[in-house]
Amino acid sequence: MSERTRVVVVGGFGVDVNVALHDGAWPLPDVDTVFAHVGDLSLGHAGSGVALQAAALGCDVVGADVVGDDEHGRFVRRELDRRGVCPVLVTDPSGTRRSVNLVRPDGRRLSLHDPRHPGGLTPDPDLWRPLLDATAPAPGPEWVHVVIVDWARAALRDARERGLLTSTDLQDWDGRREHHRDFAYGADIVFCSGTNLSDPAALAEDVFARGVARAVVVTRGAAGAVVFARGREPLHVPAVTPQGRAIVDTNGAGDAFCAAFMTASVRGADDAQAARRAAVAAAWSASFRGTNEHLITGADLDRLTPQGPA
């Protein structure tokens, strides 16, 4: 394996504007005006978060997606290039996905998401297939992360057919919505927020019964995370507060967790080691305002990750 892990991220690149609400402004009152801190445009969404954190950890990352031929699409391209992710982007008249994220005083967020792309959008598979193939002298990727945009399920199938290690993040899936099933049952490592899960163990059992995953990782915010590995007892990983840093903005924290876990796994860490590193990366991300603005480096992750059993 090369020193710099090769990663392809498919789908999920867009822009965010984060609005930090002041104390007493949540729930939103029924008034005409609420004072808040409105942040600048930033590179956001699930694909961006995973790609940027992987790049910050020393991976060679390519990001493939559909954006608009608009200022937001050009912003995505510029920012990816500036921050060390190779952008492979095609355009569609529907525009670039975007979100406004309302950040509560305790750091939790409500995302107002505009996907932009119409249902049935089917980009040419040549967007991602050349990135999955080893072309001499360049080897293929060691890890492919596929975001749950509708057309990307085809990319997940292509990656699996090539025998590549795959991951996906089901976001706040409740275990029932049909859209998520191809991703849940088609990836090697499945991440999911526990926000809408009454029984994370039941979700893991379903994924193992119907899918190919070797592990299901359920993140639970301040309650930490649980790693369900096929044929093993669940591994509970506590949340951390690196250097006592307070949680101020959880936008992108789950993406940082996913990227740190997968990077560690590909480089030989066991699930406990990978999960400890992931918990630190997520907490570090959430201790800064903004989406993906301050991501942990490999050196800081080495220094701050607790040792020993999870």
> 109 CB contacts (<8 Å, ≥6 apart)?
18, 101, 102, 103, 249, 250, 251
Q: For residues 136, 138, 140 and 142, what is the CA-based torsion angle, rounded to 10 degrees?
A: 150
Interior/surface letters 179-200, b for 16+ CB within 10 angstroms, e for the rest: ebbbbbbbbbbbbbbbeebeeb
pLDDT at 3: 61
pLDDT at 1: 38
Domain positions in the chain are 6-24+36-120+140-304
Instruction: Round to whole Å and give the CA distance between 228 and 33.
Output: 45
Q: How many of the other CB atoms lie within 10 Å of CB of 158?
A: 20
pLDDT at 276: 97
Query: What burial class does residue 135 get, using C-beta atoms within 10 Å of its C-beta: 0-12 exposed, 13-18 middle, 19+ buried?
Result: exposed
Q: What is the largest CA-CA distance in the chain?
A: 62
**Can you identify the CATH homologous superfamily of domain 6-24+36-120+140-304?**
Ribokinase (3.40.1190.20)
Place of tokens 């090369």: 2
Residue 295 is encoded by which pair of tokens?
């991501």
Q: One digit per residue, pLDDT tens: the chain, 310 residues?
A: 346 899 999 999 999 999 999 998 999 999 999 999 999 999 999 999 999 999 999 999 999 999 999 999 999 999 999 999 999 999 999 999 999 999 999 999 999 999 999 989 999 999 999 999 976 566 789 999 999 999 999 999 999 999 999 999 999 999 999 999 999 999 999 999 999 999 999 999 999 999 999 999 999 999 999 999 999 999 999 999 988 889 999 999 999 999 999 999 999 999 999 999 999 999 999 999 988 889 999 999 999 998 865 4
pLDDT at 310: 46
* Residues making up the chain, counted from first to last: 310
Query: Is-contact 174 192, C-beta < 8 A?
Result: no
pLDDT at 4: 85
Cα atoms in the 13 Å half-sphere on the side-chain side of 18: 24
Bridge partner residues of 19 (DSSP): 38, 102
The single-letter code of the amino acid at 307 is Q
pLDDT at 309: 56
User: Got the DSSP string for 10-70?
Assistant: ES--EEEEEEEEPTT--SPPSSS---EEEPPPEEESHHHHHHHHHHHTT-EEEEEEEE-SS
Q: Residue 56 to residues 192, 207, 248, 274: CA-CA distances in angstroms?
A: 22, 30, 21, 16
Instruction: Round to whole Å and give the CA distance between 278 and 274.
Output: 6
